[in-house]
Structure 1
Amino acid sequence: MKTLNEWLAYCERLHPTVIELGLDRVRAVADRLALRFDGPVITVAGTNGKGSTCAMLEAILLQAGYRTGVYTSPHLVHFEERCRIRGQAIAADELVACLEQVEAARGDVSLTYFEFTTLAILLAMARAGLDVVILEVGLGGRLDAVNVIDTDCAVITSIDIDHAELLGDTREKIGFEKAGIMRPGKPAIVSDPVPPQSVLDHAAAIGADLWLLGRDFNYQGNNPQQWAWAGRGRRYSGLGYPTLRGANQLINASGALAALDALRTRLPVTAQAVRNGFGMMDLPGRFQVVPGHPVVILDVAHNPHAVAALAQSLDAMGSFLMTHGVFGAMADKDIPAILRHMDPLIDRWYFTDLPTPRAASAQALEAIWRAVTQRAGAAAECFATPMAAFDAAAARVQPTDRIVCFGSFYTVGGVLEHGVPHLESDAPWQHADR
């Protein structure tokens, strides 16, 4: 195996199951690789808001002059997006070298695709001479592969029901899994406004330094131009809003600032670095509004909690003549709840298949929508790929309309892999039959 794609295909075949939670196998290989980091480690778990929180931390710390490493998943288009070193995606050949070393170290230990690639990325970051490492949990927390690394600061974002078959069917059960990233005596930032009691109980049981939104840190965002934040040791006023849009981004930003406040003796940052970081960050697929007419919005919201926030953000955009919705999702998601949130906003649906066996078919999505819709005049079509669905929407759209492409990372990534979609004055809607 020579190329990254060949290695990734090998990793997919190696283990009998796609997901197998547990740390014993990963820890055994991590010990053989002697994985360790010299600088602080920030680990971020949660149902929604993890990627945004990681991006905010990274942007501020880069502006403060630190050498950062970020591990996040899944990716939108290219696997290399999962690892950013000093703000840049890792090179494929660097990943290949680390995958080779994991293969040599694992011996007869069988690893899942996620575990194998996580170890390779951790190895790459461990050798990059970094000042700070930011790790996004892939699934849950307690038994996720990144939890083999002891964190210096845990951040837990919003908690809601997702992956119930693996993590539990209540917020209390899921909260316990997320809380597994906490460490005794270390800061544990909880930015969920109403955290499950299981999170608070676990923090108390292990003696973590618990920071709660509304008690240890808070924000005010009533001014449409500026917002303010206060924590235990720092206060910021007159902050510009983060360039990441969306209804919950101030909550994510508050959690990021609390983590930096908790680590201020090891990672001091200036107020200017905070302002610049929030103003210069970029994270594709998180309420990404593509400029132009008509408007295009891309969002990886793929569970009811995230889709509710998406609907709130869409509603706040104002009036559009029609909203066209491109949607694809995994079959294990709560699709009826997702569609009920979006049904009042979408005038025409474009359901799409996705290139993975886990996905619900476009036809299945349409059938679920027809069972839950309250809009007699809405219409729907089915397509084989996200790009085909998007092209069909683009062929119908008028300048006063908008297209919302949302759902799985495969949905948004399937459009973005062809480039960021710009619909300008020569777009197909000029000649299309509505």
Structure 2
Amino acid sequence: MQEESKSIHNPKLAMILSIIFAGLGQFYNRRWIKGSIFVIVELLFIVICGQFVNDGIWGLRTLGTIPGEHHSLFLIIFGLISLILLGFALTLYVLNIIDAKNDAVKIVNGEEKRTIMEALRHTWDRGFPYVFVTPGLIMLLFIVVLPLMFTVALAFTDYNLYNSPPRNLLNWVGFDNFTNMVTLKAWKDTFFKVLTWTIVWTVSSTTLQIALGLFLALLVNDPRIKFKKFIRTFLILPWAVPAFVTILIFAAMFNDKFGAINREILSVFNIVIPWLQDPFWTKIALIMIQTWLGFPFVFALFTGILQSVSKEWYEAADVDGGTRWQKFRHITFPHIMYATAPLLIMQYAGNFNNFNIIYLFNNGGPAVRNQSAGGTDILISWVYKLTFELNQYNMAAAISLILGLIVTVFAFFQFRRTRSFKEEGNIE
């Protein structure tokens, strides 16, 4: 009789019942408690969240129909929250189907049914990590992911100073904002100039601070150098001063009229440089300041790594007749890069979005005629101006999306090429 029951039991039927309504497949498998939980959860979702999700999806699709009454921004937010709730519901729904199928397969295979206590213990053992991860995941979704989704959504609307809710309703415009960014002259010239300077700024300032930090670390690590502790402490001091304080001090020092650099240093050679009026010299000043701000961290990082390089490697190189350059090229440099590549990549990504120094030094200036960006604005500072000064929210969101994609692709590509993020045993 038991064998006949096993042969009659059908996993496909359990899946179909779970698709019709969560929990029915568990009832078919005689998992009464589990089935009741799934049924209650689905009923609660329909009763409590059903109308909210339905209205949210409608608002996200239409962005409102009555100007002055429907607020498109709120409808976007409610719609995105509805998508998150719907994602949770669909996840549980799929788990319900998989669970019904797995239980049905176990019944067909003749596996013994667990007691209630055994089932609870098994569920707790397997689900223990998820119990503690879930609250953090929920917070992450609503604190980090939801604002990102909102920014992405704005990039595909016509939200600007002249079309703002609730007086006006927003509209979905597809990829028009991105197309205008690279086709309309008013936007194209500014975008490509700012993008070019952002890349030049990122590569030059970060590379210089890394090169200076490496040079000083190698110099201090030389066994012939005395008073190493004092020198290391002295070189790390700029890192101890808050960056914004240093930037403001340098802004005063580079001032064209009363700055110490022009008045006290360059005046000796009868030279006056328009540090804050000429975009070229402002960029030079910014690169020098960022090199000063960034090298102490790199210096401290490389100094620690150099302590771990085995002296036996250098001794073996001396026996083979290796020169200083060969030892640096084949021992020191590869060892440093292997250990620090991810952090150095993050230095480039951080400077790509380094808003503080651009804004605090000269507010992205000097101004450029017929452009919404200043002569030294990078993408992130231009986004700030578009958002808070020009109210071009849709274009700011579009640029933010482009900026995020650039950083993500660059970081992903570089991390994939480094060995530091490969699991042990997978390094070839």
In which range does the TM-score fall when normalised by the shorter chain? under 0.3
> Normalised by the size of structure 1, how large is the TM-score?
0.20
The structure with the larger Rg is 2
Q: TM-score, normalised by structure 2?
A: 0.20
